[in-house]
Amino acid sequence: MTDSGDRDFSVAVVVVAAGRGERLGADRPKALVELADEPLVVRAVRGVQAAAVASQVVVVAPHELAASFRQLFDESVEVVAGGDDRLASVQAGLAAITQPVDAVLVHDSARPLTPPEVFQRVVDALRAGALAVVPVVPLVDTVKQVDPAGVVERTVERSALVAAQTPQAGTFAVITDAYRRLGNGDAQAFTDDASVMEAANVQVETVAGDRRSLKITTPFDLLVAEAILAEGNPND
């Protein structure tokens, strides 16, 4: 048992950490890349624990590294082996939820600096009755639609567009049912959990995300994360 904020509303958090990190191009899987001397997955799990919302935490590790990932955490964190794409890894994490919970949050280990308030806003929305929730931030750049040659076809109206972060969540029934419906070959079509639930015709609500909850994708993002840490760790 880890900290549970509310005995009447129980939450499991699945931290997906089984990716290769090809765009980061490091000498190891992305979850083990260090930010200020600590692996991203350790920081991401600490962020989950700082939010104190979870009764169960499951880390989904690269298949061949599950045993070494287990050494990174105490026994309150479960570690399971992931799959070849994010969808398969989330499914492995969902399958490892053994306690009855009201809701499941899925968080990217590639987001090591998500402040506790983001987790709490997601859980508050679920507790208030949302079936599915995604934290979002406004787009800052003007968005263009271009043709295959890169020529602008039109400017997309930005006010209705937002960028989706994690943790993304559903009630236990909603998210497990939505993932159960997926077929083979769906991996490319769905890059996040909200889109899986959208495809199951679930209404997905939004809460405010946070710019500090950036996803480490390229080496530039690591520089930004170091700068954020220099201002004070949002998870302390």
CB atoms within 10 A of CB 88: 16
Q: Which amino acid is at 143?
A: V
* Helices (H) then strands (E): counts for the chain: 7, 12
Q: Residue 26 or 52: which CB sits closer to Mg ion?
A: 26
**For ligand CTP, which residue has the nearest CB?**
19
Tokens of 54: 């979870």
Q: Which residues bind ligand CTP (CB under 6 A)?
A: 16-23, 30-31, 60, 82-86, 89, 108-110, 215, 217
Q: Which does 89 bind (CB under 5 to 8 A by kind): Mg ion, ligand CTP, none?
A: ligand CTP
Q: What is the DSSP letter of 55?
A: S
What are 108's strand-pairing partners?
16
Q: Residue 59 or 125: which CB sits closer to ligand CTP?
A: 59
Q: Residue 19 or 39: which CB sits closer to Mg ion?
A: 19
Q: Residue 28 or 127: which CB sits closer to Mg ion?
A: 28
CA atoms within a 13 Å half-sphere pointing along the CA-CB vector of 201: 0
Tokens of 14: 């699945």
Least distance (Å) from ligand CTP to the CB of residue 214?
11
Least distance (Å) from Mg ion to the CB of residue 22?
7
